[in-house]
Amino acid sequence: MSSKPRVLSGAQPTADSYHLGNYFGAFKQWVALQDEFEAFYFIPDLHAITVDYDPKLLPERTYIAAAQLLAAGVDPKRSALFVQSHVPEHTQLAWVLSGITGFGEAGRMTQFKDKTAKGGTDKASIGLFTYPILMAADILLYQAAKVPVGEDQRQHVELTRNLAQRFNHRFGETFVVPEAHILKATAKIYDLQNPTAKMSGSATSHAGVVNLTDDPKAAVKKIRSAVTDSGTEIRFDPAEKPGISNLLTIFSALTGRTITDIEAEFAGQQYGHLKVALGDIVGDFVADFGSRTRELLDDRGELDRILAEGADSAREVASQTLADVYRRSGFVPSQRG
Ligand code: TYM
Mutate to test the pocket of ligand 1, among 93, 153, 159, 183 (most ligand atoms within 8 A of CB): 153
Contact, 162 vs 180, CB < 8 A? no
CA of 77 to the centre of ligand 1 (A): 23
- Protein residue whose Cα sits closest to atom 36 of ligand 1: 12
- Protein residue whose Cα sits closest to atom 26 of ligand 1: 10
pLDDT, position 159: 98
Strands 6-10 and 144-148: parallel
User: What integer is the mean pLDDT of 23-38?
Assistant: 98
Q: With pLDDT > 70 as the criterion, what percentage of the chain qualifies? A: 99
- Helix, strand, or coil here: 96? helix
pLDDT above 80 for 2: no
Work out the mean pLDDT of the chain and round it to a whole number: 96
User: What integer is the mean pLDDT of 13-32?
Assistant: 97
pLDDT digits (tens, 9 = 90+) for 254-270: 999 999 999 999 999 99
pLDDT above 80 for 337: no
Per-residue pLDDT band at 120 (split at 50, 70, 90): confident
CA of 293 to the centre of ligand 1 (A): 20
pLDDT, position 184: 96
- Protein residue whose Cα sits closest to atom 19 of ligand 1: 150
- Protein residue whose Cα sits closest to atom 37 of ligand 1: 11
Identity of the amino acid at 105: E
pLDDT, position 1: 58
**Ligand 1 atom nearest to CA at 138:** 32
Sign of CA dihedral 63, 42, 202, 200: negative
pLDDT digits (tens, 9 = 90+) for 157-194: 999 999 999 999 999 999 999 999 999 999 999 999 99
Which residues approach ligand 1 with their CB closer than 6 A?
Answer: 8-12, 21-22, 25-26, 44, 47, 135, 138-139, 147, 149-150, 152-153, 187-189, 198-200
Please state the φ and ψ torsions of residue 214, each to the nearest 5 degrees.
-60, 150
pLDDT digits (tens, 9 = 90+) for 87-116: 999 999 999 999 999 999 999 998 888 888
pLDDT, position 164: 98
- Helix, strand, or coil here: 153? helix
CA of 37 to the centre of ligand 1 (A): 19
Contact, 145 vs 5, CB < 8 A? yes
pLDDT, position 122: 86
**Residue with more model confidence, 111 or 2:** 111
pLDDT, position 306: 98
Q: Which residues contact 28 (CB under 8 A, 6 or more apart)?
A: 72, 183, 186, 253
pLDDT, position 111: 87
| DSSP 8-state class, residue 123 | G
Please list the residues that pair with 80 across neighbouring strands. Answer: 40
Q: With pLDDT > 90 as the criterion, what percentage of the chain qualifies? A: 91
- Protein residue whose Cα sits closest to atom 14 of ligand 1: 21
**Rounded distance, CA 21 to CA 192, Å?**
11
